[in-house]
Structure 1
């Protein structure tokens, strides 16, 4: 019984490790770019900055895209007979995977919002977020249903554009994109509030420690 459980566990990890690692790599690519683009001290926007900005938006849909990988969970639930493997391994594995990918999306946009605030465009933040959600909803649709990749925007832009225009003329693709946009928007708002709450608590904690250290220092003197 134990040996069967361990063999099933090994099978699940082997079956998921490669594609999950690759998808997380794609999801974290825009996060790394957001740090380079939006968190650096200089506010100058050179040619290399704009190229990085285009690459950032080309890869950004890969982060919320991980939410659609839940279809693989349904497939593997049908293959696995043990309720314990499903409950203790599959569900936590997919939850962690999707949480990490979407967290990369949220932090990327928080970095973008921070940059807009620094250049005096705070009023643009909400609009920029909504536009980004919409673009990513289109990107997720193209990736999941049309099987395009981020680099196809460079290698076969004409094919991507033609396919997108044809799809937008249909009712079903528009409904899928709209639902994806709503899901991304809601999950983003919730996750962003959680992140900002954690950041504020950390800042408050650090401020309290600094004030305590200052009072101790003054008392000793």
Structure 2
């Protein structure tokens, strides 16, 4: 318990800007709720929380050398991390909910959605950088880059699974059979391929820019 508490504290200290950005997102959303008396966009808070989960997981891993060194800890946690990671870029697709509302100007809702999107993306990219660094330590930078490329494509497919097939990360355990069947069926369609490649390449380019800037 102390380890988790210390990790959360350390994460916030290292990435305090992400915390402030999340608070700005929540404040903006609450202002909208106050003005419109509508809870329509409250789902954004849940989506943002899910987008921050991979960052918490990767922070636990990278701040505990024993996790990186031992396979029985590293690979299970990496799988869990990978299952939640698509929630970070998935938040981009929440723009489909943008609509005109007479209670607030459209620019306010654009600002709201952009804020949540950027917060989710930055949390995901930061988490991916953690994983990249760990893979570089365990193996080598080349394999780390290849892994990130594959991870980005998996995230692209994860966006399709979440937005179009309407599955969540925990459905891997809750509804594994129906999830597997729908995923196999999707391989025969063009839309999943386009979304996988489009969002996957976009995420990889963003990570490359993010990692280069940080470096």
Tell me the TM-score normalized by structure 1.
Answer: 0.74
Equivalence for 1:108: 127
Question: Does the 8 Å CA contact 2:89/2:121 hold for their aligned counterparts?
Answer: yes
Q: How far apart are 1:72 and its partner, in Å?
A: 1.2
| Pairwise CA distance, 1:164 | 1.0
Kept after mapping to 2: 8 A contact 1:116/1:125: yes
| Aligned match of 2:61 | 37
1:146 aligned to which of 139, 144, 165: 165
1:125 and 1:12, CA in 2 relative to 1: closer, same or farther beyond 3 A?
farther
1:79 corresponds, among 101, 106, 114, to: 101
| Deviation of the 1:123 alpha carbon | 1.8
| 8 Å Cα contact 2:36/2:103 also seen in 1 | no
Which residue pairs with 1:26 in the alignment?
A: 50
Q: Which runs of 5+ in 1 are unaligned?
A: 1-5, 201-221
Partner of 1:51: 76
- CA 1:13–1:35 in structure 2 vs 1: closer, same or farther (change >3 Å)? farther
Q: Whole-Å Cα distance in 2 between the matches of residues 28 and 109 of structure 1?
A: 12
Q: Find the aligned partners of 1:46 and 1:129 in 2 and give their Cα distance.
A: 19
Write out aligned runs for 1:1-221 (5 A): 10-11=35-36, 14-16=39-41, 18-42=42-66, 43-73=68-98, 76=99, 78-80=100-102, 85-87=105-107, 89-194=108-213, 196=214
* Paired residues of 1:39 and 1:115 also in contact (CA < 8 A): no
1:139-169: CA deviation from partner (whole Å, max 9, x where unpaired) = 1100000000001111121211111111111
- Equivalent residue pairs, number: 184
Map of 2:26 onto structure 1: none
Superposed CA RMSD in Å reads 2.3
CA displacement 1:61-103 (0-9 Å, x = unmatched): 1011001111112xx2x23376xx222x222211110001001
Provide closer, same or farther for how the CA distance between residues 182 and 9 of structure 1 changes in structure 2, counting only shifts above 3 A. Answer: farther
SS of 2:161 mapped into structure 1: helix
Partners of 1:141 and 1:54 in 2: CA distance: 19
- In the alignment, what sits opposite 1:218? none
SS at 2:80 equivalent: helix
Task: Label 1:96 to 1:12 Cα distance change in 2 as closer, same or farther (>3 A).
Answer: farther
| Most deviating of 100-109 and 169-178 | 169-178
CA distance, structure 2, for counterparts of residue 114 and residue 159 of structure 1: 35
Within 2, Cα distance between the matches of 1:46 and 1:90?
Answer: 45
